[in-house]
Amino acid sequence: MSDLALRGGQKAVTINYSEVGARAVVSEAEIEAAVELMRKGQISSSPLVQDFEAKFAEYIGTKYALASTSGTCAINEALFAVGVGPGDEVLVPSYTFWASAAPIIAAHGVPVFCDVDPDTYCIDPVDIKRRLTPRTKAIMVVHVWGNPANMDAILEIARENGIAVIEDASHAHGSEWNGKKIGSLGDVACFSLQGSKVMAAGEGGVLTTNNREYYERAIALGHYERLSGLPKDSKYRKYSLTGLGFKHRTHPIGIAIASKQLDELEERNYIRDTNGKYLEEGLKDIDCIKIQKVLPKGKRIYSYHYTIYDETKLQGVSLITFLSALKAEGVICGKCGYGRLHEAPLFTEGVPYGKGCPGKCSHVEAPMVDKVPSLPVTEYLRDNTFMLAPRFEEPCEDLIDQYIEAYHKVVANIDELKEYENENKDAKVSTTETGRSINLI
């Protein structure tokens, strides 16, 4: 009988993740906090939101925090805050979710896609330097999968060139660089509170900054109801009747949930990180897996667990075959949807903003640096990174041991893998559309 479950053998993973390694999406305490707001009738606005903002700012280490309807809205606010407008270029990785880049277009700016570091998967400071122009207004830094980018190098480049640094910290609630929380190092930062994040409101986002001007501009863009409460010397109070045409007010019931999760964030991150490191330690002898590198000054959180598969280290067996074998063993795994933005029609064909293409709006002619830029590392990661495991939310060494066993079992049975691949040459990813962050298989 075959050893691999893919070919009729017994599964390596028999413990149910949802019963042992997962966590309830909303805890009883979080439900009670949400219900309490409903009892008070605070279903549209609540003092709880400002309390949460103060608590989050203190946690991150910034003067200001502003909650909004989503992380995407927080990025819109950040771009407006630092003054991105028609024809301004923003350097951004393609190895990220679309919301890191698409709001640049909405601001009539020009996304200039940069390559990423092959070890950290974060924006590469060397490539940043290559793509700077007199029109560069900001750098969008994505701490992808919770792993801090090289902030020392990025901040040095930004300061030398007088450009802003926006941190997309959507995966990095609690990550650190040189002892400081991610979200406190750049000029402005954005966090997502979407339901899959380590701190969730269902939907929601938070902007953080130490800059009063940026904070007030962010309020002006999407929080008209708070403009009259700004200090009397604020130049944005005069817009309190109308705002600037957007409404980003967050839902207090979601913030009630997020606030409770913030109280437990350090404790929960410790469990996630302990589990993530335990899994990586158990797989370090497998040559075809290359774990995402954390730089010496960085402290990552295991918000998501992606890594590189090197098929040359497993006799050319494809990633699809590798993942199919792991899935059969009971491993929750999947392909990565990141690394495709620089080829997406939104950025290559033009959009219905202004006159309708990146860098060409009703006010400015500023063609993109590259129509489809050459991003060799990004494209390698697009094709070869994969979800190693789900986020292990509870202490579950027995389950992780079974994952470790499953990986070793698959790579040990190379002949069976190759036989399966020859018999299934047309195997494809079985779920979700290409380009999502996770394509489960």
Q: How many other β-carbons are positioned within 10 Å of the β-carbon of residue 41?
A: 8
Nearest CA-CA partner of 365 in 355, 376, 350: 355
- Do residues 435 and 340 lie in contact, with contact meaning Cβ atoms separated by under 8 Å? yes
**CA dist., res. 93 & res. 111, Å (int):** 9
Query: What pLDDT shows up at residue 360?
Result: 42
At 43, is the secondary structure helix, strand, or coil? coil
Q: What are the sequence ranges of the domains in the chain?
A: 5-23+265-337+381-440, 28-264
Residues with Cβ within 8 Å of residue 167, at least 6 apart in sequence: 141, 143, 182, 183, 185, 186, 188, 189, 190
> Residues for the chain: how many in total?
441
**Structure confidence at residue 363 (pLDDT):** 37
Q: How far is CA 6 from the centre of its chain?
A: 32
Q: What is the pLDDT of residue 365?
A: 40
Question: Edge to edge, what strands does the sheet with 205-209 contain?
Answer: 64-68, 205-209, 188-192, 164-168, 136-142, 89-93, 110-114
CATH 3.40.640.10 holds for 28-264: yes
Q: What is the distance between the alpha carbons of residues 219 and 66, in angstroms, rounded to a whole number? A: 8
Check: CB of residue 87 under 8 Å from CB of residue 111. no
Cβ neighbour number for residue 426 with a 10 Å cutoff: 5
* 123 bridge partner residues: 116
Q: Print pLDDT tens along the chain (441 aa).
A: 469 999 999 999 999 999 999 999 899 999 999 999 999 999 999 999 999 999 999 999 999 999 999 999 999 999 999 999 999 999 999 999 999 999 999 999 999 999 999 999 999 999 999 999 999 999 999 999 999 999 999 999 999 999 999 999 999 999 999 999 999 999 999 999 999 999 999 999 999 999 999 999 999 999 999 999 999 999 999 999 999 999 999 999 999 999 999 999 999 999 999 999 999 999 999 999 999 999 999 999 999 999 999 999 999 999 999 999 999 999 999 999 999 999 998 888 876 665 444 444 333 343 444 456 789 999 999 999 999 999 999 999 999 999 999 999 999 999 999 999 998 876 554 443 444 565 665
Angle between helices 252-263 and 28-40 (to 10 degrees): 140
Contact 278, 396 (CB under 8 A): no
Residue 425 is predicted with a pLDDT of 76
Residue whose structure tokens are 């950290």 = 120
**Is it true that domain 5-23+265-337+381-440 has CATH number 3.90.1150.10?**
yes
Closest CA to 290 of 270, 315, 314: 314
Distance CA 415, CA 418 (A): 5
Tokens (6 digits) for 89: 């270029």
Q: Which two tokens stand for residue 4?
A: 């691999």
Q: Is the Cα dihedral 98, 104, 105, 111 positive or negative?
A: negative
